[in-house]
Amino acid sequence: MTHITDADAAHRLATRAIHAGQEPDPLAGAVTFPIFQTSTYVQQGIGRNKGYEYARTSNPTRQALERNVAALEGGTHGFAFASGMAAVDSLLKLLSAGDHVVCGENVYGGVHRLMDKILSRMGLTFTFVDTRDPAAVERAVTPRTKVLYGETPTNPMMRLADLAAMGRIAKAHGLLFVVDNTFATPVFQRPFESDADIVVHSTTKYLNGHSDMVGGLVVVREDALAERLAYIQNAAGAVPGPFDCWLALRGLKTLAVRMRQHDANGRRIAEWLAADQRIRAIYYPGLPSHPQHELAKRQMSGFGGMMSIETGSLERAGRVVERVKLFVLAESLGGVESLIGHPATMTHAAVPKAMREAMGLTDGLVRLSVGIEDADDLIADLDQALGS
């Protein structure tokens, strides 16, 4: 756990991205924060040390990252983990057997798998609901419910949850409100302003932005909750190594400018696809045709580069993902390079088929993570991949 300083929170987001948590190092004055590649620290005597004892508990490079992301989200404490899944797993360790979680039905497949296949064996129970509908969320709450967990926009259907409405429900029932802000990032969406208690990220995606590390981050605003999470982070030990933290920090410096370009490219490509007769549907909250466009405009300041298209069949989806030359067929998202994926067989293969199809996640669905290349080149690539 690392608490931000007043200086970390002193400036606007683009400035925080570059400076928060990263004072020049006192030894040599290195402007770029050093990688503290060590597992342990010399102690001056019994119980006397410089605040560092063992690197599972704390590491300066990790602390710099924790402060940076906490400052970007407008939180006070950050916790870095070895992956987004490690972050979700660790925060759910706040719960005890018998507790119940209301979770969005269209969360990342790995989150669904963790809850449904592993944590449910340990006495936690889960209800998966359509978080587009606040009434359905409220109906799912039971006296045992402790957590309301959601993504918005969702992966890959690009559905939105009304954060303000979710925050009100969580408050009314005394639930911890957890928001996965991986897709929108703090640049475009501010869950703490809607009473989220915990914001979680896969730093693997936009925060790092260069597809060269795997990591997760949890941010909170409340001291007592931070203490409980710090205990879990140290006791369970799913922490990242210092080099991965440093890579994430380096990526974060350009977060604001990258997100602007992802957003500009995303809007152009979505508009182009929306006018194309070769696809059956497009899911992008920045389009006026998206059923929740008004909500998107209200709670997001940009729409980013994530979108999904319905090609109509597995065969067509297969042709598109195999024909692209610039888009890369790969798991993951949020890198500077454009990626294309087939959720039914890749990111969401772990979600039962009936549940996938009920939410429109068909075999014909293709997900795009639009990068920051020249948009004309990306459009030309999709044009040739869609074929005649």
Ligand X SMILES: Cc1ncc(COP(=O)(O)O)c(C=O)c1O
Catalytic residues: 56, 108, 180, 205
The one among 105, 180, 263, 363 contacting ligand X by CB under 6 A: 180
- Of residues 59, 61, 106, 182, which one binds ligand X by CB under 6 A? 182
Determine the longest span between alpha carbons in the chain, in angstroms: 74
- Interface segment toward ligand X; rule CB under 6 A; list 36-44, 108-116, 252-260, 377-385: 108-116
> How far is it, in rounded angstroms, from Cα 75 to Cα 372?
28
Smallest gap from Cβ 316 to ligand X, in A, equals 24
Using CB under 6 A, pick the residue from 105, 151, 197, 381 that binds ligand X. Answer: 151
Q: Please, which residue, 61 or 202, has the CB nearer to ligand X?
A: 202
Q: Exposed, middle or buried by CB within 10 Å (0-12, 13-18, 19+), for 31?
A: exposed
Q: Which helix (H) or strand (E) holds 309?
A: strand 306-310
Q: Which stretch binds ligand X (CB under 6 A): 44-52, 179-187, 271-279, 314-322?
A: 179-187
Report the residue closest to ligand X, judged by CB: 84
By C-beta, is 169 or 214 nearer to ligand X?
A: 214
For residue 68, the minimal CB distance to ligand X (Å) is 17
Distance in angstroms (rounded) separating the CA atoms of residues 74 and 178 = 15
Q: Which of 90, 152, 155, 362 is in the footprint of ligand X by CB under 6 A?
A: 155
Pick from 76, 152, 185, 202 the residue near ligand X by CB under 6 A: 202
Closer residue to ligand X, CB minimum distance, 326 or 350 = 350
**Residue 108 near ligand X by CB under 6 A:** yes
CB 187 within 8 Å of CB 255:
yes
| Binding-site string for ligand X from residue 334 to residue 353, where x marks contact by CB under 6 A and - marks none | -------------x------
Other beta carbons within 10 angstroms of residue 261's beta carbon come to 17
DSSP state of 51: S
What are residue 176's DSSP bridge partners? Answer: 147
Q: Which of 75, 153, 216, 305 binds ligand X (CB under 6 A)?
A: 216
User: In the complex with ligand X, which residue's Cβ is closer, 203 or 375?
Assistant: 203
Say if residue 27 is exposed, middle or buried (CB neighbours under 10 Å; 0-12, 13-18, 19+): exposed
Cα 125 to Cα 119, 243, 333: the distances in Å are 8, 36, 29
Name the burial class of residue 283, with classes exposed (0-12), middle (13-18) and buried (19+) by CB atoms within 10 angstroms of its CB: buried
| Positions in 18-77 near ligand X (CB under 6 A) | none
Measured in degrees and rounded to the nearest 5, phi and psi for residue 269 equal -70, -40
Q: Is the dihedral of CA 336, 219, 341, 366 positive or negative?
A: negative
In the complex with ligand X, the residue whose CB is nearer, 111 or 229, is 111
Nearer to ligand X, 128 or 183 (CB): 183
Least separation in angstroms between residue 110's CB and ligand X is: 5
Task: Report the interface residues with ligand X, using CB under 6 A.
Answer: 83-85, 108, 110-111, 151, 155, 180, 182-183, 202, 204, 214, 216, 347
